[in-house]
Structure 1
Amino acid sequence: MSRTSEGLTRRTWLAASAALPAATAVASGATAAPASILPSPASSLGGTQFPDIQGTYLDAGSVHPFSVGAREAVKRYLDSRAMNGRPEGYEFGPLRQSVLARFAALINATPGEVAYVQSTSAGEQMAVTALGLPETGGRIVTDALHFFGSFHLYNELERAGMEVVILPIRDGRILMSDMEAAVNDRTRLVAVSAISTVNGFQHDLKAVCDLAHAHGARVYVDAVHAVGSTPIDVRATGVDLLATSSYKWLMGDMGLGFIYARADLIPHLKRPQAGYQQVAAFASHAYPYDPPGDRPFVTRARDDATGLFAMGTFSNTGVAHLDWSLDYIQGLGVEAIQAWRQPIIERARRELPRLGFEPMTPEDSTGPLIAFAYKDARQTFGERLKRAGVQVTLGAHRLRVSASVFNTPADIDRLLEALA
């Protein structure tokens, strides 16, 4: 049976989530987070944090709604920029470092192993360049359930001389036997999604990393549908490089993401680009009263992930947003979020096939996404769902449901009514 990156099966989470009140109880006592961010007795794990959602929103895997607390945190930041006096005790510099450290803790990394980037795609591009590709040549192995937006990158790398192997989908999953046949001693990179945006398939990341490392290859993971929704541990799995964005399961906004690089790998990576956020030391010998020197300017980069990947300015509103959201996620507990969500996903898995939808998601998946194939899905159901006020991800021939803390099984009932 395929497993999640933590070795937890769907059956484990079905047992854990057999009683929804138990999941809420776990969440309420999971951490010493401020009481204001913990769930109140309400109809969803999200408590009163998402009161403004109109209709039935089963599309958090596209863009997660903003919480009340995060909006208040952003307002506090905006007030600090009004130049009419900073809120008492508000210092944004330390906040940036604190958010970076809390994200690192969420994936069991150290703060020195993570850096801010613009997006998951920016992180993937940086990871590829840091590995010296395409200059070193060799093979890249990825799969047809990886993020579809990445295939342009790999097509370009193929044009630049890399050999690119894209593993096929078999019964909604990528088989380890296919990966074992594709990864060889010429392989430089294995690029996968921890949870596929297409159908929610989950790789066994430890097995992928063990295989790649046995051949001297590195593993890059797109974790945008995993971090914040499903337990992920970069130490336990052995992931080399990972990237994610804020606006999905981290409950943040667009324009801010993170990249992770394993500490012992950082000294062996090539700096993709040089930016001033990387600088650890700067000396000037060009301006009035500067001491003399052989060079006008002397710089030294940091020796951590920020020194390797950081560039220029990034979204301060995104940081302020995550300042609240990361505490909220940790306060609930990722395991409790997963346990709350699982009955919602299982109800969709059970009921939609009765309306002619073909399951695309393996039954042992425990992520926040479930997908179904239906010929001409957008044309058939687009207007119907819009009129009913139900939002899902609707492709030309695919319907995807994604559930978060504010959803309940009753949302699937409303989806079924709209589809029928």
Structure 2
Amino acid sequence: MKSPETFEHLVRAEFTPKSTFLNTATNALLPARTVTALQDAVRLRAEGRPLDPLYDDVEASRAAYARLAGVPVERVALGATVTLYTALIAASLRPGAEVLTVENDFASVVNPFHVRGDLKVRAVPLERLAESVGPDTDLVAVSAVQSADGRIADLPALREAAREHGARTYVDLSQAIGWLPVDADGFDYSVAIVYKWLLGPHGGAFLAVPEDFGDLVPVQAAWAAAEKPWDSAYGPVAELAHSARRFDTSPALFTYAGLRASLELVEEIGVDAVHAHDVALADRFRAGLAPLGHEPVPSPGSAIVSVPGLGRLQPELSRAGFALSDRAGHLRASFHLYNTPADVDRLLEALPG
């Protein structure tokens, strides 16, 4: 784990927020190295130079994500959105299949199952997810960390329940990976966008699949999903990639040019160090709410803290220089590596008590 001095030095070199930014659960600040990488990529395009180096960034980003997720790189596909991959998984299910979800989970994780129209979609409270898996459950879909309030799913319990009943699992890591150590290897499918805790630009997402690809049919496959992409631009693809690349879509090159730099920073600092830092700040905020008479949604161990009833203050706090979110009526604060104890104290001072 990085020493506090090294951690602080790296963060100060990369981030210069102009507000009290406590909104990573919406989107992160971009590191300075990422901004430079994006500018360099745009310059290649503007000057008409070859874009070949940007494809190297795509593969470097895939490899870095695989390390962070704890899966072999051959099991990682890349695209643009979580919804795209939820739709791919929904398309693979038999008519009448039961999909178990969590009440009020993020729409990208659940809506594609509903629009199929011929699936049995069941929603239960987060704390009852594992116990609700049954012999008729085909798939369990859940966010590792709930977007609205930061509650953390009991993924080990879910994994065991799914194995017991022969159900597949689909876990959205978007609000977890980057600050919470994760092991995606224990689940059939997992997904994440890159512009939150991974510090990347908008426009990228990763999907991890089983070694045998599970039940997925690459209905979206085109040239980028071929074993030899540049030989597969015209007509039907003769040979799909032998790895999870068969689930790739054409990569947003600028996004992955910037993301490569962001993931290098995350790996350089280390997720364990980020986790300790983020949770300590969130706990400081939780502790400070009690004397003010406010009780957050219980989310122990989470970097996201939501306070019921205070979402209405978000516009006022924004004018005062705070970046926060109003989610489901809650005031949501999310703490990441560029935040400090002073940020927490400043917010507490601004809240009514």
Alignment equivalent of 1:342, drawn from 279, 282, 299: 279
Other-structure match for 1:247:
195
Q: Is structure 2 residue 177 aligned with structure 1 residue 227?
A: yes
Query: SS of the counterpart of 1:401?
Result: strand
Deviation at 1:112, TM superposition (A): 1.2
Alignment equivalent of 1:156, drawn from 110, 115, 120: 115
Q: Is structure 2 residue 238 aligned with structure 1 residue 299?
A: yes
Relative distance call for 1:272 and 1:356 in structure 2 (3 A) is: farther
Relative distance call for 1:354 and 1:205 in structure 2 (3 A) is: same
Normalising to structure 2: TM-score of the pair? 0.91
Q: Is structure 2 residue 122 aligned with structure 1 residue 190?
A: no
Alignment equivalent of 2:293, drawn from 348, 351, 356: 356
Other-structure match for 1:276:
223
Structure 2: any 5+ residue segments left out of the alignment? none
Deviation at 1:24, TM superposition (A): 4.9
Q: Map Cα deviations across residues 354-378 of structure 1 (whole Å, 9 max, x no partner).
A: 3333321333xx232111111xx34
Alignment equivalent of 1:203, drawn from 153, 156, 168: 153
Relative distance call for 1:86 and 1:39 in structure 2 (3 A) is: farther
Deviation at 1:395, TM superposition (A): 3.4
Alignment of 1:73-222 (within 5 A): 73-83=37-47, 91-129=53-91, 132-133=92-93, 135-144=94-103, 146-157=105-116, 160-168=117-125, 174-176=126-128, 179-180=130-131, 182-222=132-172
Q: Is structure 2 residue 304 aligned with structure 1 residue 369?
A: yes
RMSD: 2.5
Look up the equivalent residue of 2:302 and give its one-letter code: G
Deviation at 1:137, TM superposition (A): 1.8
Look at both structures and tell me which one has the larger radius of gyration over its CA atoms.
1
Relative distance call for 1:165 and 1:79 in structure 2 (3 A) is: same
Aligned residues: 350
Look up the equivalent residue of 1:225 and give its one-letter code: Q
- Distance in 1 between the 2:193 and 2:105 partners? 16
8 Å Cα contact 2:311-2:332 kept in structure 1: no
Alignment equivalent of 2:26, drawn from 45, 62, 69: 62
Normalising to structure 1: TM-score of the pair? 0.77
8 Å Cα contact 1:369-1:402 kept in structure 2: yes
Look up the equivalent residue of 2:325 and give its one-letter code: T
Other-structure match for 2:3:
25
8 Å Cα contact 1:143-1:166 kept in structure 2: yes
Look up the equivalent residue of 2:307 and give its one-letter code: F
8 Å Cα contact 2:97-2:138 kept in structure 1: yes
- Distance in 2 between the 1:55 and 1:398 partners? 21
Q: Map Cα deviations across residues 185-235 of structure 1 (whole Å, 9 max, x no partner).
A: 221100111111122111222221221122121000010011111111123
- Distance in 2 between the 1:400 and 1:166 partners? 23
- Distance in 2 between the 1:46 and 1:397 partners? 32
8 Å Cα contact 2:82-2:108 kept in structure 1: no
Look up the equivalent residue of 1:275 and give its one-letter code: A
- Distance in 2 between the 1:393 and 1:298 partners? 44
- Distance in 2 between the 1:99 and 1:77 partners? 15
Look up the equivalent residue of 2:320 and give its one-letter code: A
Alignment equivalent of 1:397, drawn from 329, 333, 341: 329
- Distance in 2 between the 1:251 and 1:73 partners? 13
Relative distance call for 1:281 and 1:59 in structure 2 (3 A) is: closer
Look up the equivalent residue of 1:126 and give its one-letter code: L
Relative distance call for 1:263 and 1:398 in structure 2 (3 A) is: same
Deviation at 1:124, TM superposition (A): 1.7
Deviation at 1:151, TM superposition (A): 4.0
- Distance in 2 between the 1:95 and 1:298 partners? 24
- Distance in 2 between the 1:150 and 1:268 partners? 18
Query: SS of the counterpart of 1:414?
Result: helix
Deviation at 1:259, TM superposition (A): 0.7
Structure 1: any 5+ residue segments left out of the alignment? 1-22, 29-37, 169-173, 288-295
Relative distance call for 1:304 and 1:267 in structure 2 (3 A) is: farther
Greater relative CO, 1 or 2 (CA 8 Å, sep 6+)? 1
Other-structure match for 1:414:
346
Query: Greater helix share, 1 or 2?
Result: 2
Q: Map Cα deviations across residues 24-64 of structure 1 (whole Å, 9 max, x no partner).
A: 50784xxxxxxxxx752xxxx6222111x122111111110
Look up the equivalent residue of 1:385 and give its one-letter code: L
